[in-house]
Chain A
Amino acid sequence: MGKPKTIIEKIWEKHVVHREEGKPDLLYIDLHLIHEVTSPQAFEGLRMNNRKVRRPDLTFATMDHNVPTANRHVVRDPVSKKQMETLKKNCEEFSIKLADMFHPDQGIVHVIGPQLGLTQPGKTIVCGDSHTSTHGAFGALAFGIGTSEVEHVLATQTIWQHRPKTLNVHVEGDLPIGVTAKDLILAIIAKFGVSFGQGYIIEYTGEAIRNLSMEGRMTVCNMSIEAGARAGLISPDEKTIEYLRGRRYAPKGEEFEKAAEEWLALATDEGAVYDKTVTIRADEIEPQVTWGTNPSMCVPVSGSTPSLDEVENKEEVRRALEYMGLEENQPITSIEIDHVFIGSCTNSRLSDLKRAAEIIRGRKVHKNIKRAMVVPGSALVKAEAEKEGLDRIFKEAGFEWRDAGCSMCLGMNEDIVPPGGRCASTSNRNFEGRQGSGARTHLVSPEMAAAAAIAGHFVDVRKFEKVLQ
Chain B
Amino acid sequence: MEPIRQHQGLVYPLRRENVDTDQIIPKQFLKAIERTGFGKYLFYNWRFYDDGTKREDFTLNDPKYENASILLAGKNFGCGSSREHAAWAILDYGFRVVIAPSFADIFYNNALKNGILPVEIDEATIEHWMMEAESRNFELKVDLEAQTITDDQNNTVFFPIDSYQKEKLVNGWDDIDITLMYEDKIRAYEEAFQK
> What residues make up the interface of A, taking CB atoms closer than 8 Å to B?
14, 17-18, 22-24, 26, 28, 30, 37-38, 40-41, 44, 49, 51, 54-55, 58, 65-66, 77, 79-80, 82-83, 86, 128-130, 144-149, 151-152, 155-158, 160, 162, 194-195, 198-199, 225, 228, 230, 294, 313, 316, 410-412, 419, 429, 431-434, 437-438
> A437: which of B16, B45, B76, B105 is its contact (CB, 8 Å)?
B45
5 A-B pairs with least C-beta separation = A40-B33, A148-B113, A146-B84, A146-B110, A144-B82
- Find chain B residues with CB under 8 A from A438 CB: 50
> A228: which of B26, B27, B79 is its contact (CB, 8 Å)?
B79
Given contacts A28-B189, A432-B22, are A437 and B50 in contact (CB under 8 A)? Answer: yes
Chain A's closest residue to B26 (CB) is A433
Q: A-facing mask of B67-82, CB < 8 A → 1, else 0?
A: 0000000011001111
| Cβ B33 vs Cβ A148 within 8 A | no
B53 is an interface residue with CB less than 8 A from chain A: no
- Find chain A residues with CB under 8 A from B17 CB: 313, 316
| Cβ A230 vs Cβ B33 within 8 A | no
Bound Cα distance A378, B101 (Å): 40
B59 is an interface residue with CB less than 8 A from chain A: no
B148 is an interface residue with CB less than 8 A from chain A: no
* Stretch in B6-14, B136-144, B150-158, B174-182 touching the partner: B174-182
Q: A-facing mask of B22-51, CB < 8 A → 1, else 0?
A: 110011101111110000000001000010
| Cβ B189 vs Cβ A198 within 8 A | no
Task: State which size class the interface on B falls in.
Answer: 35 or more
Bound Cα distance A65, B85 (Å): 15
| Cβ A37 vs Cβ B163 within 8 A | no
- Find chain B residues with CB under 8 A from A54 CB: 186
A interface, over-half SS:
loop
In the complex, besides A24-B162, A146-B83, A429-B22, 14 extra interface pairs with C-beta distance below 8 angstroms are A41-B34, A44-B35, A82-B31, A83-B32, A128-B84, A129-B81, A148-B175, A149-B113, A156-B180, A228-B104, A294-B18, A294-B79, A410-B27, A429-B81
| Cβ A130 vs Cβ B185 within 8 A | no
Given contacts A18-B185, A195-B104, A437-B50, are A79 and B31 in contact (CB under 8 A)? Answer: yes
| Cβ A434 vs Cβ B180 within 8 A | no
Q: A-facing mask of B156-175, CB < 8 A → 1, else 0?
A: 00000011100000000001
Bound Cα distance A384, B82 (Å): 31
What's the least CB distance linking A44 to chain B, in Å?
Answer: 7
| Cβ A433 vs Cβ B45 within 8 A | yes
Bound Cα distance A145, B81 (Å): 10
B132 is an interface residue with CB less than 8 A from chain A: no
| Cβ A160 vs Cβ B175 within 8 A | yes
What's the least CB distance linking B14 to chain A, in Å?
Answer: 13
What's the least CB distance linking A86 to chain B, in Å?
Answer: 5
Q: Can you list 14 contacts pairing A with B, beta carbon distance less than 8 Å?
A: A17-B182, A37-B30, A37-B31, A83-B33, A145-B82, A145-B106, A156-B186, A160-B175, A228-B104, A228-B105, A294-B18, A316-B17, A411-B27, A429-B20
